[in-house]
Chain A
Amino acid sequence: MIDILNALALFSNFVVVPALAYGSQLALGALGITLVFGILRFANFAHGDLMAFGTMVVILVTWLFQSWGIGIAPLPTALLALPFGILGAIMIALVADRAVFRFYRKQKSKPIIFVIASVGVMFMLNGIVRFIIGPDDQAFADGARFLITFREFKELTGLGEGIAVRQTQALTVVVAILVVSALFWFLQRTRTGKSMRAYSDNEDLALLSGIDPDRVVLVTWIIAASLAAIAGTLYGLDKSFKPFTYFQLLLPMFAAAIVGGIGQPLGAIVGGFVIAFSEVTITYAYKKFLRYLLPDDMAPDTLVQLLSTDYKFAVSFIILVVVLLVRPTGIFRGKVI
């Protein structure tokens, strides 16, 4: 019995808790992608670097606050700097829309042209971020490290294994829940939110109903950029900030959006957790876990790891391909790409 509890604790510590945090981050990122796809009707490849840009602003402001001695310990200072990061991301997104996307909207260009243009914006943002903050890892998390440490948990329960919950992990989940609830309330209940759904549902009819397309586009960018800055900051706090990692996040985020059904906000959230849990469970080494559950003579000698963590992106890629082949509309019947 105690072995089973130990196995569960071990599994929670290395799989459930990290995957919940990672899944929340992916969900927030995928929500931005899915909103832009549903309303502006193109796959925005610049979303990962938009996240990086917002996070960069957060880091710079965090350093400034730290040098001034301003903080909200035990919470990380980055939380105080987050509004500035959101504003920065909104501004750069609106500049990109003004300078690039609006032109193609007026031309009524095909979606693929928007996608290519977004790749251009991605490289621009990529360069800007590297110019300002450099390509290296930046640590900016401060405040209390753990909500509950490995040892505290062991002493509390008397088990051989512990569950450590880092403060940033708990923070990620809490912030994600708050942001997602606010977004759904906005989309379901407010006039502007409903007009965005109407525009996404049937653009021509939305125009016939007098919905102002420029306003819908503006609000969409504001929301997508805010989500990007929040997701990026939470990811950076939980792991670390490196511009290239944010670019790499594009794949799991797109996979999440497509698995859930692109254009469907609820799908983005479910997709985020599907991808996160698949990635973490498949790259986790089950050796110790099985030792607890199996009789001694059957205990494995190898790591029992299905895939090395170096290949974690292969997981989202495979899921993406399978979904596109088997059910291209995704779980919640989104649009077909």
Chain B
Amino acid sequence: MSFLIGEAMTGGYGGADILRGCTIEVDKGEIAVIVGPNGAGKSTAMKAVFGMLNLREGQVRLGDRDITGLSPQDRVKQGMAFVPQTSNVFAGMSVQENLEMGAFLRRDDISVTMEQVFDLFPILAEKRAQAAGELSGGQRQQVAVGRALMTQPSVLMLDEPTAGVSPIVMDELFDRILEIRNTGIAILMVEQNARQALNIADRGFVLVTGENRFTDTGEALLANPEVRRSFLGG
């Protein structure tokens, strides 16, 4: 059984169900990617795993613990970190302050973690005194990921981390995400750039109308002719 699993999740934002029994799971040291057409419920599935919407059926488990009833804040305390797609930095605060706020829950010395983040994203060390709102899109994304890493999470969830950045920046960001994975963190992300994301994915979930259509390794999904034809543009 995987470290984090959202099993048979059914629910929506109050009206009709957006998720219809879909299952998402990821293990430590793995990257799991959720792809699918627009309106398939990719981001909703991610939010459901993080507790941002109420599930009618199904459950979410972290380790051996059922966390279905926990609020997002409590899930942060349990070691889950979430990077929203938009407004994911404190724009008026410096890069360093952003990282400090990420570690708000920690009472121990955070300087080691901060150095690790700076090692991962050297540009942030250079711009540590600059306001996060003044950085470029790609750098801002790095601040957002860095902030999430400050809690020393066991699960990192990224909602379209490469939305609106150039292809070069995207490749670099994916490289960094691979590095983060290699430290043993479980990474779950939703991606618009399906092909590139599946390339680095250990596991891929293709969602269609809130259901699992295909679930396999990233490599196998890329090789699957049906997936290629329907979702990767040939």
Contact = CB atoms under 8 A, between A and B. Distances in A.
B77 interface: yes
A204 interface: yes
Interface of B: 72-73, 76-77, 82, 84, 87-93, 97, 100-102, 104-105, 147, 151
Interface in A200-223: 201-202, 204-211
Interface string A45-82: 00000000000000000000000000000000000000
Nearest to B83: A208
Nearest to A210: B105
B72 A206 contact: no
Nearest to B71: A207
B87 A210 contact: no
A45 to B, nearest CB: 26
A198 B101 CA distance: 7
A197 B87 contact: no
A195 B104 contact: yes
Given A194-B100, A197-B93, A198-B101, A209 B76 contact: yes
A211 B104 contact: yes
Interface of A: 191, 194-195, 197-198, 201-202, 204-211
Contacts of A197: 90, 92-93, 97
A211 B147 CA distance: 13
28 contacts: A191-B104, A194-B93, A194-B97, A194-B100, A195-B101, A195-B104, A197-B90, A197-B93, A201-B92, A202-B87, A202-B89, A202-B91, A204-B84, A204-B87, A205-B84, A205-B147, A206-B101, A208-B82, A209-B76, A209-B101, A209-B102, A209-B105, A209-B151, A210-B73, A210-B76, A210-B104, A210-B105, A211-B104
A192 to B, nearest CB: 10
A209 B101 CA distance: 7
Contacts of A211: 101, 104
A191 B101 CA distance: 9
B151 A202 contact: no
B97 A205 contact: no
B72 A207 contact: yes
A333 B2 CA distance: 48
Contacts of B92: 197, 201
B143 to A, nearest CB: 11
Contacts of A210: 73, 76-77, 104-105, 151
Contacts of A208: 72-73, 76, 82, 84
B83 to A, nearest CB: 9
Nearest to B92: A201
Given A197-B93, A202-B87, A208-B72, 4 more contacts: A194-B101, A198-B93, A208-B76, A210-B151
A201 B101 CA distance: 12
A201 B90 contact: yes
B104 A205 contact: no
B72 A201 contact: no
A204 B86 CA distance: 11
B77 A202 contact: no
